[in-house]
Amino acid sequence: MKTKFVGEDENKNEKKQEKMHIAGLKGGERVKVVEASPTEEAPIFEEGKDGAQGTKISERSKRVERVRGKKYIEVKGKIDHEKFYKSSDAVAIAKKTSYSKFEGTLELHLIVKKVGTSVSITLPHQAGKEKKVEIANDETVAKLKDGKIDFDILVATPDMMPKLVPFARLLGPKGLMPNPKNGTLINDPKKVKSFSAATVTLKTEREAPLVHTVIGKTGQVDSELVENLEAIFKAFGGVKQIEKAYIKATMGPSVKVKV
């Protein structure tokens, strides 16, 4: 007669559970059940190669806190970040809080109401370095055949466009291909020579209502920068289309501007 001890069935069941095969485990490996603390969130891992444990997603997705330098923190303290400054004051503060050793660029960043908004505007004053404008002719075509580009803006009339099309791959990526949207394709040949290098086309990012541009250099007089700033505001329709506006130097904190 076979004697059966109390707890024998439970021991057999435990051994069966320990020998149970689970996909992804090698032969002979056992599964150990551990109770998780109710107050501790279980980490989630991205699957690695051959079933191996990969990157811990919760750690990978953590934002890296940006550390600011002493100079930035010092000048930032001079700005009231709750206040919207009028154009003249905003320009003066942005220039004053620029801490670069070189002549910085004064940037303008807009939040507008619609994605896809685009305007073409001739600024009252040149923003940044002087740009060389070339009117497309047969000499231009000859230079392009040699791959030579010695101009910043290319203006053309419709009759010249067929000659420029073969160089679309050269001009296109550089934003130099004449087109009506940026005002560089002019129907009236008489107006070509009057084209201004200060003419710019501003448009939002592809998937966000954000516009980024330049209104000048920190070394320019305040009045020129203010006039460029207000001309851009007017071109976008002012408060009807612009929700927020900020200006800042290349190395400096942003200043809220009253539109």
Please tell me the CATH code under which domain 131-196 is placed: 3.40.50.790
Question: Which tens digits make up the pLDDT trace of 8-64?
Answer: 555 555 544 444 555 555 555 554 554 544 444 445 444 454 444 455 444 555 555
Q: What is the CATH number of domain 79-128+198-259?
A: 3.30.190.20
Distances (CA, A) of 249 to 47, 113, 137, 139, 227: 44, 25, 39, 39, 17
Residues 32 and 13: their CA atoms lie apart, in Å, by: 14
Q: How far is residue 125's CA from residue 102's CA, in Å, rounded to a whole number?
A: 21
CA quadruple 233, 235, 236, 240: dihedral sign: positive
Instruction: Give tens-digit pLDDT for 157-202.
Output: 999 999 999 999 999 888 899 888 777 888 877 777 667 767 788 8
DSSP 160-176: GHHHHGGGHHHHGGGT-
What average pLDDT does range 142-156 have in this prediction? 91
> What pLDDT digit, counting tens, does each position of 230-248 carry?
999 999 999 999 999 999 9
Domain boundaries, the chain: 79-128+198-259, 131-196
- Terminal Cα distance for the chain, rounded: 99
pLDDT at 179: 85
